[in-house]
C-alpha cells in the first residue's frame, strides 16, 4: 500500500492498523469513517510513530488517543 498518496482508503488502513497495534478497548471511538484525509500528513506521522514502537507507557497512550481525537472530523 502506498501511504504517500492521501486517500480515504489509506486513512482507513492506518486507523485500523493503529487500533490493532494499540489494542484499543473502545474501538468505537476510533471508527475510521470519523477521519478524513484533510489531516493526512499528521495522521501519517502518528501512524509511522505508532507502528515503529513495540510498547507504550500509559501517558504515551493517553497522548496518542488525545492526538487521534484532535484529528477526527
Identify whether the C-beta of residue 30 lies closer than 8 Å to the C-beta of residue 67.
no
pLDDT tops 90 at residue 62: no
Q: Is the pTM for the entire model greater than 0.75? A: yes
Q: How confident is the model at residue 26 (pLDDT cuts 50, 70, 90)?
A: low
pLDDT tops 70 at residue 29: no
Q: Which residue has the cell 515503529?
A: 52
Residue 23 gets the label, from left (phi > 0), alpha (psi -120 to 50) or beta, of left
Question: In terms of pLDDT, which residue wins out, 18 or 73?
Answer: 18
pLDDT tops 90 at residue 53: yes
Amino acid at each position: 500500500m502506498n501511504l504517500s498518496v492521501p486517500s480515504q482508503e489509506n486513512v482507513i488502513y492506518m486507523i485500523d492498523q493503529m487500533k490493532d497495534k494499540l489494542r484499543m478497548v473502545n474501538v468505537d471511538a476510533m471508527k475510521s469513517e470519523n477521519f478524513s484525509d484533510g489531516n493526512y500528513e499528521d495522521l501519517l506521522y502518528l501512524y509511522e510513530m505508532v507502528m515503529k514502537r513495540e510498547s507504550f507507557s500509559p501517558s504515551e497512550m493517553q497522548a496518542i488517543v488525545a492526538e487521534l481525537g484532535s484529528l477526527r472530523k
